[in-house]
């Protein structure tokens, strides 16, 4: 493509490897591996007296990368900065440009952007370089400075008043508040028992179930099975007569192609992926997958709040639909509105080439990559197809003046559902015999089932991302890191996909909420996000925005530091365990990675150990079962005996103090979608299990 020497710098090595396939001689592609220039971790590094200017340094461990890029840039005729097209990416390019210019590099340094890693997109970007977008750079700087000021002022309060090693942040603390508020609602809710009622009716050879329905404003509520039995006894011998049969068309609209938040929500609900896992997989698909002889970026940029699709992509998908689902091709493309807060910097998440169907790339992807790519592909293709139409039949039935109803639906026109497999809408099929008003039905039996009223649900990855998006807290790039940070700090635990605040998380939330109600106010956080958007659009001055926030905040910090009562040590708990080094009692403490035992003789004795769950069940072994992790503490947690390797007993599931009545081994916590939460025996030869209360 070019005779001159051009150095193109991207963020990740995987992306560099893909792009190298698309550019001819004269181009070299290198990776910065994220930020090379950033704030130091050891101090606040913000000059609050002089316009809040940040003090940037070369990131520790990245000096050799920067030096190598400087060396290669010095030999190039042109340097193209191709970091991601968002605030962080713009800041990376800006800092790189400043670093290269400080070395008097003679090459022309320009910025290029692209939304997908394809030959067409890369070549178009290379041929249309531009200047750095200082609006984005200033917005990133403002966010970085704001978060640094909040974090580096709040965290020391927690160190002094609660315990060392804690942290607080502008956005993470608000997310923690949402989770704690929901937990309080869950704990306050009192479930009420009720029983549902279905009757099995028959006409000819066809039988079906009908449900008791409200009668006007009257809703019959059964609180016990005895009430159901008494109600059905009052209908004994009475006729069930069809009073009305209606069939109407129900239109199901296709859904817009994915934004970041919607992708994370669907991946959590449909695939069981955490937000972090979803974004890691999406990054891999975006940066490039080797498809035999060529390497292809399979999806467009995965951090976006837009549902917009390029004209070329629309033409391609309509062509694909016309060939494969001609009956579902609409006369014109489907257009989708965006949320009020959408920045529309990128297209929606879509496959770069619709011709790469999930089936055609299956052999080149891991199982999880394939699942995520499949829902992205299906969502995009279906978004440009016709509505699906169901014929819904509602049958009203009366017995003794009490109304019953049954509903059945059949697909009249598949429409967009023809393209769905993994995202297929699962509806329970109900087959009805031919029914007409006035028909008498044969009563077969009734079925009743116990239920309990459902209170508010705990947040999951999907629902917390949804609420963060709805309330304008954070941005597409921050949803997954927020959840990850709360879990890593042990403020929140994930159990059966639910996010539950820990005792430590509740304590931190209470302290911050009482001391800094404005910082933890959801609306205030959303307003700050809007101000960052204004900075990006050059509607606001970043240092002035920070200045308006800083003075009252710092006064509040000083007041809280001076007057807040310390609760250090309040969570420590003396145990019956003795230190195996000095014999003193062990104390249960809460650390960054959960609870552990520490010698009460600290600092003279610094012995620590994991908290035993129970005694080892192996006959003749006097060890205890404790939590362990594979791969040097970074792998998946499992549970093993303290006498390892002498005793090799292990369990993949968390032990409890419950003892199996059949064999004497301890019971473990289990969860399965079909069974819910339950306890099962840790003895692999014993099949005993008990439903969790």
Give the residue numbers marked as catalytic: 301
DSSP type of residue 258? B
- CA–CA separation, 638 and 100 (whole Å): 48
Asked if 176 and 492 touch (Cβ cutoff 8 Å), the reply is: yes
Written as six digits, the tokens of 392 are: 């819904």
Residues 6+ apart with CB under 8 A from 28: 5, 6, 7, 8, 72, 76
Q: What tokens appear for 259 in the block?
A: 């934004």
Query: In sequence order, what are the residues at sequence separation of 6 or more whose Cβ sits closer than 8 angstroms to the Cβ of residue 201?
Result: 207, 208, 209, 210, 240, 397, 441, 442, 443, 444
Q: Map 382-395 to HEC letters.
A: HHCCCCEEEEEEEE
User: How far apart are the C-alpha atoms of 376 and 378, rounded to whole Å?
Assistant: 6
> Of 158, 154, 159, whose CA–CA distance to 169 is shortest?
154
Query: SS3 letters for 430-488?
Result: CCCCCCCCCCEEEEEEEEEEEEECCCCCCCEHHHHHHHHHHCCCCCCCCHHHHHHHHHH
Q: What is the dihedral of CA 358, 363, 369, 370, to 10 degrees?
A: 30
Write out the H or E segment, with its range, that includes residue 562.
helix 542-563
Residue 495 to residue 459: CA distance in whole angstroms: 11
Nearest to 610 by CA among 598, 596, 600, 599: 596
Locate 583 and state its tokens: 């014999």
């Amino acid at each position: 493509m070019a005779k001159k020497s051009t150095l193109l710098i991207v963020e990740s090595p995987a992306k560099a490897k893909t792009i190298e396939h698309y550019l001819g001689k004269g181009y070299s592609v290198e990776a910065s591996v994220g930020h090379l220039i950033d704030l130091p971790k050891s101090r606040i590094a913000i000059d609050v007296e002089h316009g809040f200017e940040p003090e940037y340094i070369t990131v520790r461990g990245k000096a050799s990368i920067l030096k190598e890029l400087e060396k290669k840039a010095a030999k190039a005729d042109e340097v193209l900065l191709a970091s991601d097209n968002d605030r962080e990416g713009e800041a990376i390019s800006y800092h790189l440009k400043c670093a290269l210019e400080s070395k008097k590099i003679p090459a022309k340094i320009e910025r290029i952007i692209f939304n997908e890693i394809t030959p067409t997109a890369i070549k178009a970007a290379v041929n249309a370089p531009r200047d750095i977008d200082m609006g984005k750079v200033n917005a990133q700087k403002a966010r970085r400075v704001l978060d640094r000021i909040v974090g580096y002022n709040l965290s020391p309060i927690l160190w002094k008043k609660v315990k060392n090693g804690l942290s607080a942040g502008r956005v993470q603390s608000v997310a923690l508040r949402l989770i704690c508020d929901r937990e309080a609602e869950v704990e306050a809710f009192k479930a009420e028992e009720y029983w549902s009622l279905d009757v099995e009716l028959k006409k000819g050879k066809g039988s079906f179930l009908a449900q008791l329905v409200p009668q006007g404003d009257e809703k019959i509520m059964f609180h016990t099975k005895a009430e159901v039995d008494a109600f059905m006894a009052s209908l004994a011998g009475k006729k069930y007569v069809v009073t009305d049969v209606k069939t109407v068309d129900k239109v199901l609209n296709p859904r817009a192609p994915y934004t970041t938040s919607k992708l994370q929500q669907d991946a959590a609900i449909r695939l069981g992926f955490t937000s972090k896992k979803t974004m890691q997989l999406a990054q891999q698909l975006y940066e490039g997958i080797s498809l035999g002889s060529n390497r292809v970026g399979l999806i467009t940029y995965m951090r976006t709040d837009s549902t917009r699709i390029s004209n070329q992509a629309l033409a391609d998908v309509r062509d694909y639909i016309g060939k494969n689902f001609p009956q579902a091709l609409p006369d014109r493309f489907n257009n989708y509105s965006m949320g009020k807060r959408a920045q529309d910097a990128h297209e929606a998440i879509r496959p770069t080439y619709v011709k790469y169907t999930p089936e055609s790339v299956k052999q080149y992807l891991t199982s999880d990559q394939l699942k995520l790519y499949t829902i992205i592909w299906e969502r995009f293709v279906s978004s440009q197809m016709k509505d699906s139409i169901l014929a819904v039949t509602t049958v009203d039935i009366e017995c003794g003046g009490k109304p019953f109803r049954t509903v059945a639906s059949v697909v009249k026109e598949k429409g967009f559902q023809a393209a769905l497999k993994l995202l297929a809408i699962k509806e329970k099929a109900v087959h009805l015999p031919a029914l007409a008003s006035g028909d008498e039905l044969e009563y077969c039996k009734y079925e009743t089932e116990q239920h309990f009223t459902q209170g508010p649900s705990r947040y999951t990855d999907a629902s917390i991302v949804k609420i963060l998006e709805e309330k304008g807290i954070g941005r597409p790039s921050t949803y997954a890191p927020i959840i990850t940070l709360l879990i890593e700090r042990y403020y929140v635990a994930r159990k059966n996909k639910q996010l539950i605040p820990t005792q430590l998380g509740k304590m931190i939330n209470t302290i911050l909420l009482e001391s800094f109600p404005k910082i933890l106010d959801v609306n205030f956080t959303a307003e700050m996000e809007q101000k960052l958007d204004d900075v990006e659009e050059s509607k606001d001055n970043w240092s002035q925005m920070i200045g308006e926030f800083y003075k009252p905040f710092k006064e509040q910090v000083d007041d809280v530091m001076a007057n807040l009562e310390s609760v250090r040590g309040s969570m420590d708990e003396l145990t019956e365990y003795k230190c195996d080094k000095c014999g003193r009692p062990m104390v249960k403490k809460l650390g960054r990675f959960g609870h552990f035992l520490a010698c009460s003789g600290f600092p003279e004795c610094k012995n620590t150990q994991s908290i035993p769950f129970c005694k080892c069940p192996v006959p003749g072994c006097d060890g205890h079962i404790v939590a362990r992790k594979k791969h040097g503490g970074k792998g998946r947690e499992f549970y093993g005996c303290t006498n390892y390797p002498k005793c090799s007993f292990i369990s993949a599931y968390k032990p409890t103090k419950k003892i199996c009545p059949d064999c004497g081994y301890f019971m473990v916590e289990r969860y399965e979608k079909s069974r819910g939460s339950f306890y099962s025996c840790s003895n692999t030869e014993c099949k005993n299990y008990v439903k969790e209360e």
